[in-house]
Amino acid sequence: MNTPKKAKSKICFIISFMTTPLKQSDPQLFTLIQEEEKRQSKDIEIIPSENFVSTSVREAVGSVLMNKYSEGYPGKRYYQGNQHIDTIESLTQTRALSLFNLDPDSWHVNVQAVTGSYANLAVLTGLLELGDPILSMSLYDGGHLSHGWKLPTDLPAGQAGLPAGQAGKPISLTSRLFNSHFYHVNPKTQVFDYNQIAKIAQEIQPKLLISGGTAYPREIDHQKMREIANSVNAYYLADIAHEAGLVASKVNSSPFPHAHIVTMTTRKTLRGPIGAMIFCQSKLAKKIDFAVFPGLQGGPQNHSIAGICTALHEASLPEFKTYSQQIIKNTHALAEELIKLGFTLISGGTDKHLILIDLRPLNLSGKNAALQLEKVGIISNKNTIPGETGKPWDPSGLRIGTPAMTTKGWIENDFRKLAHTIAQTLS
C-alpha cells in the first residue's frame, strides 16, 4: 500500500522535529538556558543546598530513560518493557546501601521519592495514623517545612510577632495531617539541649521524633535522639538531606546505628541530581514502599534515579572523600575569618558545610544582605535564626556554605578572601 505524498511529508516533518536540536527548535528557551549556564559559571555560589553535578550525572538525567513509564518496583511493574529500568533501580539501591555500609538484610532503601519533602511525607504517612503527635526542630531554629511546620501559637518575649489570626496556622501538609510540636536550641548556646528535648518528648509523647534541618550548623547526637525516642516508644527519623555526602565520607557522624529511618536528598553534599532516598530498617520496608507508591506517586522519574545511581558511584571513590574533607576545611576557614572580621555566627561556628550569620549586630536583614551580595556575584540566601526578631520573608540571618565552590576547586585561602569580600560588601 502506497502512502500518499501529503502523509509522507507530515511524517517527515514529525521525524525532523523530534531530532531538531533545542537551539533550532526553541531558540528562546535555549538562550535562557545558556544565560543560566553563564551565570553559574561566573557567580560565586555559596548557598549550602546547591552544588554542581558532574557531566556523567547530567548525561544520565538527560537520557532516554525519561521516555519510560514504570509504576511499581523492580520485578513488580504495571507496564511492560521495564527490564532495563528494573536493573538500573536495583543497581541504585545496591549502591546506596553499599555507600553507607548497610547490611541489605537489615536495611532497605527506596529511591523513588522525587524530593526530600515527598520522602518525609512518605515516612509520616507510612508509619503513623492521621493526627498522631510528632516532635521536630523548630523552623526558626533551623528545621524544615516538611517536618510538620506550623506557625507558633506563642513566641518568647522579643521575638517577631505574628499577624492577627495566624498563630498556629498549618503551613506544610504534614502539619495539616499530624499534630506537630517543636523543640528549640538553647537560647544561650544555640545548640541542642537534649535534656530539654527529652522533657518535651515526655510531655508530648510523640509517635515520631525527627532530627535534621536546613540551617543547623552543628552535628546532631543521634544516639541521644534515639534514646529519647525509645523513652516514649517513638520512631526516630534522621533527616540528613544536607549532610548525606559528609556522612558517606565519614567526616560527619552517621545516624544509621541509631535511627529507624533515614531520609536524604541527593543534591547538596552528595552532589547528585534533584531526588531523594528513604532508608529504613527492613521490617518497615513494605510500609515505606507502599507510602511512596501507590500512596504518593505514580511512575518514578527513571532518568533522575539513573543520575542518583552514577552520583552514588562517584561518592564511593576516594576522590569524593577528599572532596568532603575539603568542604569541612573550607567551612572552618570561612567561619574563622568571618569571626575575625566581627561577624556573629549562630552557635559560634560550624561542624558541617554551612554557616548561619546573625546580621542584627550589623543592623542588616537577611533579605537586604543577600540582595547586596548578589549584586557583586555572590549567591547566598536569607534565613531565619534562633530567637528570630524579623519576619520569615525578611529574616535576620544569612545562610552560606562551601559545597559548590569546593566542587569548583576552591581551598581554604579562597574562602578567607571571600570572607573579606562579604565584609566589604555588607559594610
**Rounded Cα distance, 27 and 19, in Å:** 15
- The dihedrals phi and psi of 204, each to the nearest 5 degrees, come to -85, -35
Q: Is the predicted pLDDT of residue 135 greater than 70, yes or no?
A: yes
Are residues 88 and 222 both part of a single domain?
Answer: yes
The average pLDDT across 177-184 equals: 94
The CATH number of the domain where 332 resides is what?
3.90.1150.10
- E-strand ranges in 26-143 read 44-45, 72-73, 76-77, 107-110, 133-137
Residue 29 lies in a domain: no
- The pLDDT assigned to 142 comes to 87
The average pLDDT across 69-80 equals: 97
Domain-ending residue, one of 286, 315, 344: 315
Residue 15 lies in a domain: no
- The pLDDT assigned to 6 comes to 61
- The pLDDT assigned to 109 comes to 98
Can you name the residues that pair with 109 across neighbouring β-strands? Answer: 279
Are residues 274 and 174 both part of a single domain?
Answer: yes
**Rounded Cα distance, 368 and 374, in Å:** 10
325 and 312 in contact (C-beta within 8 Å)?
no
Secondary element (H or E) of residue 280: strand 276-281
Residue 283 lies in a domain: yes
Are residues 72 and 185 both part of a single domain?
Answer: yes
Domain-ending residue, one of 315, 349, 376: 315
Domain-ending residue, one of 292, 315, 338: 315
**Rounded Cα distance, 107 and 414, in Å:** 41
Q: Which amino acid is at 336?
A: E
Alpha-helical runs (H) found in 205-241: 222-231
- The pLDDT assigned to 336 comes to 98
Residue 389 lies in a domain: yes
Kindly indicate the confidence band of residue 3, based on its pLDDT and cuts at 50, 70 and 90. low
Are residues 173 and 301 both part of a single domain?
Answer: yes
- The pLDDT assigned to 392 comes to 74
Are residues 145 and 234 both part of a single domain?
Answer: yes
Nearest to 260 by CA among 233, 244, 237, 292: 237
What is the 8-class DSSP label of residue 284? G
Letter string b/e over residues 31-64, b meaning 16 or more CB atoms within 10 A of that residue's CB: eeeeeeeeeeeeebbbbbbebbbeeebeebbeee
- The pLDDT assigned to 277 comes to 98
Mean pLDDT computed over every residue of the chain = 93
- The pLDDT assigned to 342 comes to 97
Q: What Cα–Cα distance (Å) separates residue 357 from each residue in 90, 158, 241?
A: 42, 19, 21
Kindly indicate the confidence band of residue 168, based on its pLDDT and cuts at 50, 70 and 90. confident
92 and 309 in contact (C-beta within 8 Å)?
yes
Are residues 270 and 137 both part of a single domain?
Answer: yes
Are residues 303 and 324 both part of a single domain?
Answer: no
Kindly indicate the confidence band of residue 15, based on its pLDDT and cuts at 50, 70 and 90. low
**Rounded Cα distance, 353 and 225, in Å:** 22
Cis before residue 48, ω within 30 degrees of 0? no
Nearest to 407 by CA among 59, 47, 96, 98: 47
The average pLDDT across 171-193 equals: 93
Q: Which residue has the higher pLDDT, 241 or 171?
A: 241
| Residue 97: partners with Cβ closer than 8 Å, 6 or more residues away | 103, 104, 107, 109, 279
Kindly indicate the confidence band of residue 9, based on its pLDDT and cuts at 50, 70 and 90. low
Count of residues making up the chain = 427
Q: What Cα–Cα distance (Å) separates residue 239 from each residue in 44, 92, 265, 349?
A: 27, 20, 9, 21
152: how many CB neighbours lie within 10 A of its CB?
Answer: 17
pLDDT digits (tens, 9 = 90+) for 335-391: 999 999 999 999 999 999 999 999 999 999 999 999 999 999 999 999 999 988 888
Percentage of the chain lying above the pLDDT 70 cut:
93
Nearest to 388 by CA among 401, 373, 398, 378: 398
**Rounded Cα distance, 416 and 424, in Å:** 13
Are residues 346 and 252 both part of a single domain?
Answer: no
Residue 25 lies in a domain: no
**Rounded Cα distance, 377 and 375, in Å:** 6
Q: Is the predicted pLDDT of residue 325 greater than 90, yes or no?
A: yes
The CATH number of the domain where 101 resides is what?
3.40.640.10
Q: What Cα–Cα distance (Å) separates residue 175 from each residue in 127, 198, 211, 267?
A: 15, 21, 16, 25
Residue 4 lies in a domain: no
Q: Is the predicted pLDDT of residue 123 greater than 80, yes or no?
A: yes
Are residues 402 and 356 both part of a single domain?
Answer: yes
Kindly indicate the confidence band of residue 162, based on its pLDDT and cuts at 50, 70 and 90. low
What's the burial of 333, exposed, middle or buried (CB within 10 Å: 0-12/13-18/19+)?
buried
- The pLDDT assigned to 51 comes to 98
Percentage of the chain lying above the pLDDT 90 cut:
85
Kindly indicate the confidence band of residue 150, based on its pLDDT and cuts at 50, 70 and 90. confident
Q: Which amino acid is at 230?
A: N
Residue 47 lies in a domain: no
If one counts the domains in the chain, the total is: 2
- The pLDDT assigned to 94 comes to 98
Q: Which amino acid is at 280?
A: C
Are residues 280 and 143 both part of a single domain?
Answer: yes
Are residues 200 and 346 both part of a single domain?
Answer: no
> Can you read off the three cell numbers belonging to residue 427?
559594610
Secondary element (H or E) of residue 87: helix 83-99
- The dihedrals phi and psi of 405, each to the nearest 5 degrees, come to -75, -25
Domain carrying residue 106: 64-315
The average pLDDT across 18-32 equals: 93
398 and 372 in contact (C-beta within 8 Å)?
no
Are residues 342 and 204 both part of a single domain?
Answer: no
pLDDT digits (tens, 9 = 90+) for 97-115: 999 999 999 999 999 999 9
Residue 59 lies in a domain: no
The average pLDDT across 308-315 equals: 98
Q: Which amino acid is at 339?
A: I
